[in-house]
Each structure stands twice: as C-alpha cells, then as structure tokens.
Chain A
Amino acid sequence: DAGVTQSPTHLIKTRGQQVTLRCSPKSGHDTVSWYQQALGQGPQFIFQYYEEEERQRGNFPDRFSGHQFPNYSSELNVNALLLGDSALYLCASSLAGGRGRYTEAFFGQGTRLTVV
C-alpha cells in the first residue's frame, strides 16, 4: 500500500501564474482534504472532497479550487499566485461515507510550493 501520494514534491512558480497539485489517496479511501502549511504554522484547512463534490471549505479565496475524480484522486488548483501562497500543501485521505464516526486521516508528504 503506497499510502497517500502527492506530486510534485517541489515546485517553483512566478507571481500571477497558475499551479495544479495532485493527490492520490490511500487505497480504499474516498475522502480527500487539502491543507496549507505556511512556515512556522500548523496546517490550515482549505477544502474537502467527497463523492467528487466540495463538501467543506476553509477561509481561502476562490483562487483556490479543486477537483475529485471518480477514482478518488484529487487536484488542487491555485490561480493568480501570490508570494503569500508559498507553503507546504498537504493532502489527507480518509474513509467516510456515512459511517457515523470519524476515521483516521492519513497525510501525504506534501508539495512544497515556492512563489517568486
């Protein structure tokens, strides 16, 4: 079991550009969440996808968007990049689907995005 995999591991972009980050969830998991971890901070919730729909969203602008595919993998897109978007972007997967209780979320190693 490969666990949660994210690509790429590192990325450098210029202000104003657009970026797409990818996440493959742990085998058997159907829910994917994205988090942004700025330097010296804890991870901040961006949004969560389940059944190919955005189910919950944190306090992030519309420049941040996502998608979940039928195989449960997910993409995070950020448009009009700002210097402040430089951070580690983490993907977490879990199994939900109305089980009535929380199941453990597994995190990927993250994508380090640097905006210059």
Chain B
Amino acid sequence: DQQVKQNSPSLSVQEGRISILNCDYTNSMFDYFLWYKKYPAEGPTFLISISSIKDKNEDGRFTVFLNKSAKHLSLHIVPSQPGDSAVYFCAALSVWSGGSNYKLTFGKGTLLTVNP
C-alpha cells in the first residue's frame, strides 16, 4: 500500500524553464511533507519542506505547493539548471512523542534531467 506516490518516473526540461514535480498521498495525518534530492552514489539531501497546515513554502528557486483537499503536492524549480539533474523524492513525515519519534514515508522518486 503506497501512501506516497510519484507517478512520473522521469521528467526532462530545458535549462531556464520551469520544472514541476508532482506527488500524491493518501494519509491525511501526515505532519510535514519534504522533498529530497539524490545524486548517484550519494544519500538523499533535504531540499525543502512544508507543514501540513501551510499551502506554500518558497526557498530561492524552489517552491512547494500543498493542496490538502486533493492530497497533492508539487515542487516547482524556476529557473531549472543542469545541476538540478537528479532523482527527486517526495516524502511524508509522521511525528510522535513531541518530535523524538518520527518516520519518513517516501515515494519512488522522479528522475529530473535538465538539458543545457
């Protein structure tokens, strides 16, 4: 039972254009949603997050939008750069016990390729 779904295995965009990565979830009880970026032979790197009570969070070229009614979030990268080429994972966070216990549930990832 996949609670976090990334339905696009890959996405290709031109440098300078917008990249939009999508993610759907099924559990309304998640506390935060996060995006991680992963290069080959490296661990995932945290990119940006959004609280379940917000609908938008922006950090430089990266913006995450959350639509709670649709159980959908998206990551926008503007403008896209070749160095953004990586696998992007959407993850949902459940937190217990005041933050000492937590669990990340990941999607399968989307491979973003930004062409020069």
Q: In the complex, which residue of chain B has the Cβ closest to the Cβ of A50?
A: B100
> What number of B residues sit within 8 Å (CB to CB) of A?
30
Residues of A within 8 A of B95 (CB): 101-102
- Interface hub of B6, B32, B91, B101 (most chain A Cβ within 10 A): B101
Contact: B46 with A55, CB < 8 Å? no
CB pair A106 B103 closer than 8 Å: no
Docked CA distance A17–B96 (Å): 35
- In the complex, identify which listed stretch (B11-19, B36-44, B74-82) lies at the interface while the others stay far away: B36-44
Which residues on A sit within 8 Å (CB–CB) of B45?
A: 107
- Residue B97, interface by CB 8 Å: yes
How near does chain B come to A116, taking the closest CB pair, in angstroms? 21
Give B33 Cβ to nearest chain A Cβ, in Å: 11
Let me know if B100 and A43 touch, CB within 8 A: no
Residue in chain A with minimal CB distance to B32: A102
Q: Which residues of A contact B72 (CB under 8 A)?
A: none
Across-interface contacts of B58 in A (CB, < 8 A): none
Known: A98-B97, A102-B93. A43 touches B102 (CB 8 A): no
Q: Mark B15-52, 1 if CB is under 8 A from A, else 0.
A: 00000000000000001100010000111111001000
Residue in B6, B44, B99, B107 whose beta carbon sits within 8 Å of that of A107 in the complex: B44
8 A-B interface contacts by CB (under 8 A): A43-B106, A45-B104, A48-B102, A56-B102, A99-B98, A99-B99, A100-B99, A103-B99
Interface residues of A (CB under 8 A from B): 4, 31, 33, 35, 40-45, 48, 50, 55-56, 58, 90, 92, 94, 96-110
Contact residues of B with A, CB < 8 Å? 4, 6, 31-32, 36, 41-46, 49, 89, 91, 93, 95-109
